Amino acid sequence: MIEKLPDDLRPEKYSSLGQVIEYIATEHAQLPAFSCFGHTLCYQEVDELSSRFAHFLQNQTALVPGDRIAIQLPNVLQFPVVFMAQ
């Protein structure tokens, strides 16, 4: 099955999930990424919101590199934003 993937989707091309997300946010910025309760976020919006959340965690909390956090959210638009923060 992996043999049939286009080159830009081959897993060995990327060293992390973050790189995959950055690629998709750049190449498919205006395509719908997630929808919930009648509201849709495109890939660019998810990327921007997750970057803002990551910035908040890094600069407005006492967290330090290596700390771990738990994400406990229902299936709402905030979940992929928080999950993809890097």
* C-alpha angle 36-82-60 in degrees, rounded to nearest 5: 135
Candidates 2, 11, 74; CA nearest to 83 is 74
pTM of the model: 0.81
The pair of three-digit structure tokens given for residue 43, joined into one six-digit string: 């890939």
Q: Going from the N-terminus, what domains does the chain have, and what CATH number goes with each?
A: 15-62+71-84 (3.40.50.980)
pLDDT tens, position by position, 55-77: 999 999 999 999 999 999 999 99
pLDDT tens, position by position, 13-51: 888 888 888 888 899 999 999 999 999 999 999 999 999
Rounded to whole angstroms, what are the CA distances from 12 to 9, 17, 79? 9, 11, 26
Three-class SS of residue 70?
coil
d(C-alpha 31, C-alpha 69), whole Å: 29
